[in-house]
Amino acid sequence: MRIVFLPNATRMQIQRVEELLQQLRFRYRRSHGDEGTVLGVVGDTSLLASKRVERMRGVAAVLPFTVPYKQASREYCQEGSVVQVGNVRIGGPDVVVMAGPCSVESQDGLFAVARRVKAAGATILRGGAFKPRTSPYSFQGLGREGLELLQHASREIGLAVVTEVMDTRHVEMVAQYADMLQIGARNVQNFDLLREVGASGKPVLLKRGMMTTIEEYLFCAEYILATGNEQVVLCERGIRTFDTVTRNTLDVCAVPVLKHRSHLPICVDPSHATGDWRYVIPMARAAVAAGADALMIEVHAQPEAAFSDGPQSLTPNRFDQLMREVAPIATALGRKLGRAR
Ligand code: PEP
Ligand code: MN
């Protein structure tokens, strides 16, 4: 439910309500927006009815949520959330760029790409150590060795790391190496995994499934938020449609829709959305124009030799071009792309 305050409510009056919520051990979030000061509250709110919160000084109204997902909604928090990954802030004025290979393949390959994407302005290194492959005979990732390489590259080069975790049994291990845990499209409704990454306390990059509706997707985010972990970034990465000319169809409209319905920051992954490097730069431009807070881009020094997703990987030179072309779009919206170079 939401506790809405009168426009002239005093700090003390708001604080008294917050103290009551704390005493009763409710989870809540205070925000300021079009409706003035609002406390979004979750838990057994019938307990609060008996406390007559609506009669407390400064309170204008106590309203139920009008949407079934709660903590993920704009009703819970009117302001956009900022998620901190290492020293990178996602959801603030800067548009964050996460870039790197689809899979971690070797130390040399990873370090070479990491250096180039950092020089171009990326602040988070991506790379899979556990790969969800369509065929069990395809490269499945280097596992722990891949995590070690990611951590090594991150420390040496100065980038935060995001990497996928596919199995509840690996959450603790992956969390030791990564700054942010990625839940892949195929696992978006693996509820046990969502609970487990939530409980790790690490920031989570939650990818939309190829067949997940926006409402289902917000429920997936809610699973993580319900553990008390508020560090969730949504990621649109293309959905399956009737057209096969691209790997998936990038739902650019998901960006403003999710912004409207949720306070969580939004990343767009045009690499998996298109499956073809030729379309990655235009879709990255579109994503930032639509309001994305972050981009995730696959980059490989030799895409034709990549162990996975070569056809959609940009060369480092093409990644430089992406950064050059997207930066003025961010600037036009009063934002800045990546790290100042
Ligand atoms: C990936 O990021 O490499 C990946 C497998 O993405 P998705 O889960 O979106 O397919
Ligand atoms: Mn990939």
CATH code, 30: 3.30.70.1140
Q: Is the domain of 224 the same as that of 297?
A: yes
Q: Is the domain of 99 the same as that of 36?
A: no
The token pair at 189 is 């409704």
Rounded distance from Cα 257 to ligand 2 centre (Å): 25
Establish if 73 belongs to a structural domain: no
Rounded distance from Cα 21 to ligand 2 centre (Å): 44
Q: Is the domain of 203 the same as that of 294?
A: yes
Q: What is the pLDDT of residues 142-159, one digit of tens each?
A: 999 999 999 999 999 999
Pick the atom of ligand 1 nearest to 185's CA: 8
Pick the atom of ligand 1 nearest to 183's CA: 8
Ligand 1 pocket, residues with Cβ under 6 angstroms: 102, 128, 132, 184-186, 207, 237, 272
Residue 129 has pLDDT above 80, yes or no: yes
Q: Is the domain of 158 the same as that of 110?
A: yes
Show the domain range for 157.
83-337
Ligand nearest to the CA of residue 296, numbered in listed order? 1
- Distance from C-alpha of 27 to C-alpha of 115, rounded to nearest angstrom: 42
The token pair at 160 is 């935060």
Among protein residues, the one with the nearest Cα to ligand 1's atom 6 is 184
Helix count and strand count (H, E) for the chain = 11, 15
CATH code, 169: 3.20.20.70
Pocket test for ligand 1, best of 98, 102, 104 (most atoms within 8 A of CB): 102
Q: What is the pLDDT of residues 160-201, one digit of tens each?
A: 999 999 999 999 999 999 999 999 999 999 999 999 999 999
- Distance from C-alpha of 165 to C-alpha of 181, rounded to nearest angstrom: 6
Please, what's the largest Cα pairwise distance for the chain? 67
pTM for this entry:
0.97
Rounded distance from Cα 103 to ligand 2 centre (Å): 7
Among protein residues, the one with the nearest Cα to ligand 1's atom 10 is 185
Provide the number of structural domains found in the chain: 2
Ligand nearest to the CA of residue 269, numbered in listed order? 1
Neighbour-count burial for 120-131, b at 16+ CB within 10 Å, e otherwise: bbbbbbbbbbbb
Pick the atom of ligand 1 nearest to 235's CA: 9
Q: What is the pLDDT of residues 203-251, one digit of tens each?
A: 999 999 999 999 999 999 999 999 999 999 999 999 999 999 999 999 9
Q: Which of 187, 40, 69 is nearest to 128 (CA)?
A: 187
* Contact in structure between 137 and 308 (CB atoms under 8 Å): no
- In the chain, the amino acid numbered 286 is A
Question: Phi/psi of residue 136, each to 5°?
Answer: -70, -10
Establish if 68 belongs to a structural domain: no
Ligand nearest to the CA of residue 127, numbered in listed order? 1
Q: Is the domain of 311 the same as that of 203?
A: yes
Q: Is the domain of 107 the same as that of 168?
A: yes
Neighbour-count burial for 225-240, b at 16+ CB within 10 Å, e otherwise: bbeebbbbbbbbbbbe
- Distance from C-alpha of 185 to C-alpha of 239, rounded to nearest angstrom: 9
Rounded distance from Cα 82 to ligand 1 centre (Å): 23
Please state the rounded mean pLDDT for residues 296-302.
98
Ligand nearest to the CA of residue 207, numbered in listed order? 1
Pick the atom of ligand 1 nearest to 128's CA: 3
Pick the atom of ligand 1 nearest to 296's CA: 2
